[in-house]
Amino acid sequence: MLPAYIKIHDQIKKDIDDAVWEIGERLPSERDLAETFKVSRMTLRQAITLLVDEGVLERRVGSGTFVASTRVQEKMRGTTSFTEIMKAQGKTPSSQLISYRRTLPSEQEVEKLGIHKTENVIRMERVRYANDLPMVYEVASIPEKFIKNFKKEEVTSHFFQTLQEHGYKIGKSQQTIYARLAKEKIANYLDIPRGHAILGLTQISYFDDGTAFEYVKSQYVGDRFEFYLENN
């Protein structure tokens, strides 16, 4: 079961696709939308914030929230594991762990993972390779409560496989893709020139009961990796 804010996100996006709200049109207030969807304003705000992050909506200070004039995001269904993708393509995946630490979550992690600000997360930073060629720099955040009994190596090398071996059932994920240019730090990690084209991907992964278990921000080398959408 998907979280309430994801359902609201999907419904608002569908309404925009169906021209219930036109490009440039102002949405009702958060209070009115919360009443319409019968949820708290906090839950409603999570859905709106996600749509703003995706470029579907835009906030204008003092004016409200509007349907954006451009669409910058495509949503892909299905949960992707880098290791599984690489193996399926006959490549050998590997990782270089840059940092791995236990910490209190940022505001963004609290929101995306649906956790309390006092709950610890494990935040790991790594570069991932296919046949020894750097493909992606990523920062993954995982609520500590799910992996307390896991070995570090189980989390850093094959996290999804480890979860399944411990009885967790992986459900859907929500992904946002955007284009950007590589900054110096990322360029060095990925062995590309600064300003090289990269594809950004943020992904929230859920168990089949709708509980978020991982929030990842990734930056892929633009000419080494491609995403495609498969519509059922």
Any idea what the CATH number is for the domain that residue 60 is in? 1.10.10.10
State the Cα–Cα distance between residues 197 and 71, nearest whole angstrom: 19
What pLDDT digit, counting tens, does each position of 14-58 carry? 888 777 888 788 999 999 999 999 999 999 999 998 888 777 888
Can you name the residues that pair with 125 across neighbouring β-strands?
A: 99, 139
Tell me whether residue 227 is in a domain.
no
Average pLDDT, integer, range 67-93 = 64
Q: Are residues 59 and 129 in the same domain?
A: no
Does 15 share its domain with 124? no
Is residue 130 located within the same domain as residue 167?
yes
Give me the domain span that covers residue 48.
4-67
If asked whether residues 88 and 138 sit together in one domain, one would say yes
Confidence of residue 227 (pLDDT cuts 50, 70, 90): low
The answer as to whether 73 is a domain residue is no
Assess whether 175 and 88 both reside in one domain. yes
Place of tokens 């459900």: 171
| Three-state secondary structure string covering 94-160 | EEEEEEEEEECCCHHHHHHHCCCCCCCEEEEEEEEEECCEEEEEEEEEEEHHHCCCCCHHHHHHHHH
pLDDT, position 78:
53
Res. 172 pLDDT band, cuts 50 70 90: confident
For the chain, give the percent of residues with pLDDT over 90.
Answer: 52
Q: What is the pLDDT of residue 174?
A: 86
Within-domain flag for 75: no
Q: Looking at the structure, tell me whether residues 12 and 100 fall in a common domain.
A: no
- Band (114; pLDDT cuts 50, 70, 90): very high
> Looking at residue 73, what is its pLDDT?
34
**Which of 43, 67, 91 is at the close of a domain?**
67
Q: What is the mean pLDDT of the chain?
A: 86
Highest mean pLDDT among 15-19, 150-154, 226-230: 150-154
Question: Do 59 and 91 fall into the same domain?
Answer: no
Task: Identify the band that residue 216 occupies on the pLDDT scale cut at 50, 70 and 90.
Answer: very high
Per-residue model confidence (pLDDT) at position 228? 57
Same domain, 97 and 42: no
Q: How far is CA 175 from the centre of its chain?
A: 5
Could you give the number of structural domains in the chain?
2
Helix (H) or strand (E) holding 184: helix 184-190
Instruction: Tell whether 87 and 57 lie within a shared domain.
Output: no
Least confident among 89-93, 94-98, 113-117, 146-150: 89-93
Quick one: pLDDT at residue 79? 56
Q: Are residue 96 and residue 21 in the same domain, yes or no?
A: no
In a domain, 107, yes or no: yes
Counting Cα atoms < 13 Å in the Cβ hemisphere of 86 gives 19
Residues 145 and 38 in one domain: no
Two tokens, residue 210: 């709708």
Q: What is the domain-level CATH number for residue 131?
A: 3.40.1410.10
Same domain, 53 and 8: yes
Q: Of the ranges 16-25, 70-79, 161-170, which one carries the lowest mean pLDDT score?
A: 70-79
**Domain end among 67, 99, 116:** 67
Query: Is residue 102 situated within a structural domain?
Result: yes
